[in-house]
Structure formats: C-alpha cells, structure tokens
Structure 1
Amino acid sequence: MEFVDAENLAMELIRAQRQWVRVERIGQAADATPREVFGLVRAVVCGWWDRKEFWERGAIWGPRLERLTAATRRWCPDTAGWGVEQWRLLVRDVVMFPEIVAVAETLVNPRMQQLAAENGSGALVRGRGSGERFAAALGKQLGREWLVELEADDHGGPLASWARAVVREQGSPAGAPVRQGRLGRWWVHSAHRPVQIGMGLRRLADPLSAGSGAREGSGAAGAGEPAARRNTRAEVRGPWRAGQGRGLEQRHAQLFAEGLEQARLHVERFGHLAVAHAEGRVQEGFDLGRWLANRRAHAASLTMEQAEQPRCLDAWWNPPWPLDWQRAWHRARIHVHEQGPVHGGDNLMGLPCWLQRWLRHQITHYEQLHDGQQTLLAELGLTTSEVERFHAWPGRRRPTADGLAVARAYAARHGHLAVSQPLVVE
C-alpha cells in the first residue's frame, strides 16, 4: 500500500483488518498459518480480478478502483507510458483486500469446509450437488449470488483445488496429521499464483522481456542485451515517493496542516467547527465542510496528535450526536449571549419561535440526551432544575397522549367526560 493513497477507503480497510484477526484465530486453531491462508485466498480473488465476467457483474470494485486511482494521481502524476492497465495492477491488492478477508473467513469456517467436503469429487461445478451449494453459499457470503455461475466454469482454479484437498483430508483416517506442502489444502500451485506488481509492470511495458524478469539482476541476463532495452526495464517502476520513502505520509501531514489552519481561521471568526457539509461550495478556495466531514468519518485512523489539534479548537468538533444538533446549539448560544440565559419557570416566554420549538424538544427528550448535550444545555441556562421547573409550571400544556390516558381513566371510573368545572387529576 506504500504507493497508493487509500484514505477514502480507510474505514473498509480497518474493518477488514479487524476481521482478519478472527480469521487468524480460527485458522491457527485448525493448524493453518495465516500466511498460507492469505496466499491461497489472494490467488482465488486475483483469479476473479482477471476475469471479465466478474467485472461485468460486480458493482463494487469499479468505484473503488476509480477512487483510489484518482486519489493517488493527485500526489503522483502518471508515469510516462502509463495507462489503465498499469493503474489497475498498482491498486489491485488494496481494492481486493476486503474481499480477500471475507473469502478467508469463509474458507477457514469448519461448517463451510464440511459443505465442500460433502461433494465426492470436490469440483465446484453446477449440477454436482454440494459443490454447487458451497459456491452458492460463498457467493451469498460475499453479496455476489452469481458467483456460482462463474465457478462452474473454473474446474481447475485455486478454489476447486482447495475443495479437492479438503475432500482428501476429510477422507483421511481419524488422527492423521494435517497434510502440508503440495498436498495441503492451502498450497497454491504455480499456475494459480497471481502476478506480482513489479513483474506485471515490466510485462506491460515490454512483453518480450517478461520471460527474463526472473533472472533480472544477474550478470548474464543483461550482458548481450541492447542498452535501450535495459534502460526501458530499469525505468518501469511504481510512482516514486519523495524523500526517504515517506512521501505519501508527508503529503498527508501537509494536507492535514492546511485543513487545520483553515479550521483555526473559522474558529476565530465563528467560534466553532460545527460546519455544514459544503456540498461542493468552496469558500476562499478550501472546502472546510468537506475536510471536516472526512476527518470525522476517518477519526479512527487519526493519530493522537491529529485528533487533539481540532479538539483544542473546538471541544465538540466531532460530537457523538448529530451535527445538526450542535449547529442549533451554537445558534441558541448566540441568542443567550445577547439576551441572557433561558429559564424553565417562565414557560420559555419571550423567546423566538424557532428557539422555543428546539428547547421544548430538548426538554421532552431530556432523559435520553447525552451527558455532553445536557452540559451544553446548562450553559444556555437550561439545567436539570430548570427542566423540572418547566414541567411543574401550573399552566403546562401536556402532550395529547398523556391527556387521553387521563381522560380514559376518568371515563372508566365515572362513565363520562362531562366535566363542568376545573378538575385536577393526579
């Protein structure tokens, strides 16, 4: 991932990383090393990546590919001669990683292994009973129910090889050691191993040199080769990182510093960071609303120092409640600063209609509010005691549902609602 700007896919990657911890735990309990599981599953998913039918039916990888390519291009211009195929290869492993983890979790599941083993031949083909059921279950797990049709035509693929190995192990005598190496279920045959990024880029740049890629670096490989050919292969590489291998990290830090400076200017002017999403409307060349929205969405990936900096500007820049509430509170605070604190004992008289409606809603749901919200309301003057005074006001209009409940109880007791004088019930 060192050459790919994957920030806009951060949450999906974080979830996949956490899911991979479960995969490791289950796999190790079954004597499968994480590296072996990952290698086999990566070969399976890379096989799908190379199939046109998968792209024609799938609707997830395409948008991911476009987002990652566009984000990376912002800090790294296209290398000379690069095209779509080079970018597809560069970001491939990042785009596929959530699916790799999902497939791995399925393959280490003992129930799914048993389902694959119930098929006598182990071939995942249509019309072969449990083999089809396994492929259908895998497709359902991935949200791609049509996967069974693709696997029906791939009798010799890595997934079918894995299924045949599962059948062999299930047929072994009880207590027999788990097979390793070429006969093990996690072995990846050389024909199924996906092309690595460096080799793939060399092939795309110079198809005639693909066969000698494995010998690159030896003296004999380049001894009689034209200098132009050697220079071409030497220049084929991923986007170059500036500095000592930390160009992308430094670029992210620079962008964060620029956004933080815009946030500081906004706080100096308005006193808060409860900025609405700009939806494309940029002020003074910088979309602060979008920047803050992205920081909130990826707050889990911020460093402690980065998370603390906006908090120093506005303690509630990323509140655990809706941002609309926070903006309404700031608007109410401006009124309180100009007119004085609100009081519950006067039935909120004299307040603007919009503020009355908002405060009544907060009072009605006061017990369900977050502690931080209650603290902020207290800064407006609406403390817990003021809320109690509001409910105790003699002329309080009760909610319709409460009045109907009292009326229903009165009618059940007296048989009518012909109340001709003031009557207080409960």
Structure 2
Amino acid sequence: MGGDALLAADADQPLEHLDVRGLPEVVAAQRRWASVARWAVRAGARPERVFALAQAVVARWWEQALRWERETIWPRRLHQVAGGDAGGDLDQWRIAGRNAVVFPEVVAVADALLDPAMAELVWADSGAGRPRALPAEGMFCRRLGERLGRGWLGPLAATDHGGPLIAWMGSVRLRRGADGPPGYDNDP
C-alpha cells in the first residue's frame, strides 16, 4: 500500500491516488495490515494469498451492497473519498474508490481468516464430525459480522452460496476432516 494518507485507485482510472486523510479507519487499516501479514507468515500462509481471498470476499459484498439498506459505512467513505459528494459520478467513484473504501473490511476479513478461533466456529457450524449445511444463523458468520461492525451482515454472508467466503468455509471443513486432530492447515 501507499503512504499513510494515499491509497492507489483501481487500475485504468484517471485518478492515480485517493486522499484518505479524512478516513482514519482506512489509515489505521493500512497500519494494521502489517501485523496481519506477519501473523499470516507465522501461521505458514502467504500474506498475498490471504489478502487476495479477503479482497475477493469483500469485493463480492461491495457488488451486493447497493441493495443493503443497512449499509451506511461504505457510502459515507465513498463520498469522503470523492471529496465530499460522489454526486452524478457515483458509478465512476464506485470503481475508482472501491479499494480504498473497503480496505478496512479486507484487513478485518483477512485477520478473521487467520484466526484459529474463527476456524473453530466454522468447524462447529458445519457439524464438526457430522457434516451438515452451514446455517444462516451460524456462529462464524455472526462473529464475522460483529468484527466488521455490521452484526446484520452475518446471515447475508452465510447465505451467499457460491461466494469465496463459503468456499473457504468449506475448505476449513475439508482440511480439518472428521477424524483430524484439533487444528488445521491455516493457509487460505
């Protein structure tokens, strides 16, 4: 990532950098990413793979977020990145500003993907030794929504079948195995 106050805009955009000084949560996430990346290395995962998976999860949510009446954080950030009002250029700003706007959630999701306690919740939600469909009211997605400051997001994330988060959750079950020891290969 760039300096503390700038993030690179999405590729092929006229904006090269976005000013995020008015978004302390984005600046804090830039600093936090360094510790998440170190944690990934200690866990035996490649930080760029963890980041890519987390970014895929959050990018999918970004595409769905226009229909989420309860989402207030991303619109506020998007307007701030646009200089106060995305106005008539909302579609352009959604493209150019996405990475900056969602960056705190990407870092939080990456952190959650590396957290063994979160993987334990996936294991429990999936029926542990007796596999079952992941429930919409499962503890993992509920806790993930809470970690993102959006308790309402958990059930939506749990029912996004075919998305990268559900695929990762399924891989936790497969890596763990019904007869496997407590613990798992933590590389997303």
Using the size of structure 2 for normalisation, the TM-score is 0.77
Equivalent position of 2:5 in the other structure = none
1:56: which partner in 2? 69
Distance 1:18-1:5 versus aligned 2 partners, 3 A rule: closer
Within the candidate set 142, 146, 154, 2:148 is matched to: 142
Task: Find the partner of 1:158 among 161, 164, 171.
Answer: 164
Residue 15 of structure 1 pairs with residue 28 of structure 2: yes
Provide the residue aligned with 1:6 in structure 2: 20
Aligned positions of 1:12-411 closer than 5 A: 12-52=25-65, 55-70=68-83, 83-118=89-124, 119-120=126-127, 121=131, 123-126=133-136, 132-171=138-177, 178=185, 186=188
Distance in structure 2 (CA, Å) of the matches to 1:169 and 1:142: 26
The offset of 1:71, in angstroms, is 5.9
Structure 1, residues 98-154: CA drift from partner, whole Å, max 9, x if none? 111111111111111111122144754325xxxx11111111111111112212421
- Taking the aligned partners of 1:54 and 1:110, their CA distance within structure 2 comes to 32
Distance change in 2, residues 1:150/1:14 (3 Å): same
In 2, distance between residues paired with 1:25 and 1:58? 31
**Change in CA separation of 1:83 and 1:71 when aligned onto 2, cut-off 3 Å:** closer
Matched AA of 2:171: A
CA distance in 2, matches of 1:123, 1:161: 12
Shift of 1:56: 1.5
CA distance in 1, matches of 2:158, 2:51: 23
Does the Cα contact within 8 Å between 1:139 and 1:145 map onto a contact in 2?
Answer: yes
Partner in structure 2 of residue 305 of structure 1:
none
Alpha-carbon shift at residue 12 of structure 1 (Å): 2.1
Unaligned segments of structure 2, at least 5 residues: 1-7, 9-15
Choose 1 or 2 for highest CA Rg. 1
Matching residue of 2:4? none
Note if contact 2:136-2:158 (Cα within 8 Å) is conserved in structure 1: yes
Q: 1:156 to 1:58 in 2, by over 3 A?
A: same
The structural deviation recorded for 1:59 is 1.2
Q: Residue type matched to 2:91 in 1?
A: E
For 2:28, give the aligned amino acid: R
Closer/same/farther in 2, CA of residues 65 and 185 from structure 1, 3 Å limit? same
Classify the secondary structure of the residue corresponding to 1:4.
strand
- Aligned counterparts of 2:49 and 2:142: Cα–Cα separation in 1: 24
Query: SS at the partner of 2:83?
Result: helix
CA distance in 2, matches of 1:114, 1:53: 32
Q: CA deviation at 1:7?
A: 2.6
SS in 1 for 2:96: helix
Question: For residue 117 of structure 2, what is the amino acid of its counterpart?
Answer: R
> Is the 1:12–1:98 contact (alpha carbons within 8 Å) kept by the matching residues of 2?
yes
Residue 52 of structure 1 deviates from its aligned partner by 4.0
Q: Indicate if the aligned counterparts of 1:124 and 1:155 stay in contact, CA closer than 8 A.
A: no
Q: Distance in 1 between matches of 2:58 and 2:45?
A: 19
Q: What amino acid is the match of 1:68?
A: V
TM-score, length basis structure 1? 0.36
Task: Give the distance between the partners of 1:52 and 1:89, measured in 2 at CA.
Answer: 13
For structure 1, the residue ranges without an aligned partner over 5 or more in a row are 74-81, 179-183, 187-426
Task: Indicate if the aligned counterparts of 1:48 and 1:54 stay in contact, CA closer than 8 A.
Answer: no
> Structure 1 residues 66 and 122 mapped into 2: Cα distance closer, same or farther (>3 Å)?
farther
Q: Distance in 2 between matches of 1:3 and 1:71?
A: 16
Alpha-carbon distance between aligned partners in 2 of 1:90 and 1:108, rounded to the nearest angstrom: 28
